[in-house]
Copies of this chain bind each other. A is one copy, B any other.
Amino acid sequence: MDDLQSLHCWAEDFHRDIEQSAGRMRPRAADCRSCHSAVFCVPGHTEPGVQTAFECLVEQIGPLPAGTRYIAMGDPFDAIYAIKSGQVKTARVDSDGNDEVLGLHLPGELVGLDALAGSRYRCDATLLDTGVLCRISFPRVADLALVWPTLQARLFQLFSAALQTPRYSVDHPVEMRLAGFLLDLSSRWKQRGFSSTEFSIALPRQDIARLLAMRKETMSRVFARFEEQGFVRTDRKHVTLLNLEALRRQAGPLAV
């Protein structure tokens, strides 16, 4: 279990980045050896050549300020982005002008895989707080995957995992959808070595609502109901899950 180590690694990287903020926005090759958290790292392999090649094609970007839209829908696709720190929202404005929130992405996750097929990014990606990204050129990572089977396998796995995004589209009641969402976040934070019961959701309520296919008012009411029942406690962005079992009961089939 190197989750705690990952946590340290993040924190260290983050502070180093802040200190070096003179070089802000200047991409540089990432040191992936020191960052077990990156979703791509294949720890313990023994081929320094390919490892170096991999580090050369990963550009570390940032820290960037909250609100930075680093992918714009429609731009030509050429890279995927790993989130090193910060939370990211993916969204698109549909033909009616409403903007549709597609996902909330946590550190260690990957954004942009869906853009390959159409050669253009299919949605905007925006940092919700200060964050550091790794930009991974897709043509180059694919080339490298031809000579590094482990990397190829990892890429296929990441694509496949991206297909498993929970669908809040179905006709489940609102309580179920919110409970399912909270449990999903809980398990994703846990995977990364953070607390599974206490975390912050950088996404504003309005956007959580759209992600879960309900109105902000409804979202607010459901949150209030959960709080009354003692399932959760919220303070702005900060959320504490007080009763995971009850949430699982609420979430029913959407429970993680």
Contacts and interface: CB of A to CB of B under 8 A. Distances in A.
A46 interface: no
Contact of A167 (B96, B157, B167, B252): B167
A235 interface: no
B152 A122 contact: no
B159 A160 contact: yes
A208 B150 CA distance: 40
Interface string A81-115: 00000000000001110101000000000000111
B253 A164 contact: no
A204 to B, nearest CB: 17
Interface in A144-176: 145-146, 149, 152-153, 155-164, 167-171
Contact of A142 (B113, B156, B158, B253): B156
A1 interface: no
Interface size class of A (residues with CB under 8 A): 35 or more
A116 interface: yes
Contacts of A145: 152
A32 interface: no
A160 B114 contact: yes
Interface string A27-45: 0000000000000000000
A115 B167 CA distance: 16
A213 interface: yes
A22 interface: no
Interface of A: 94-96, 98, 100, 113-118, 122, 142, 145-146, 149, 152-153, 155-164, 167-171, 210, 213-215, 252-253, 255
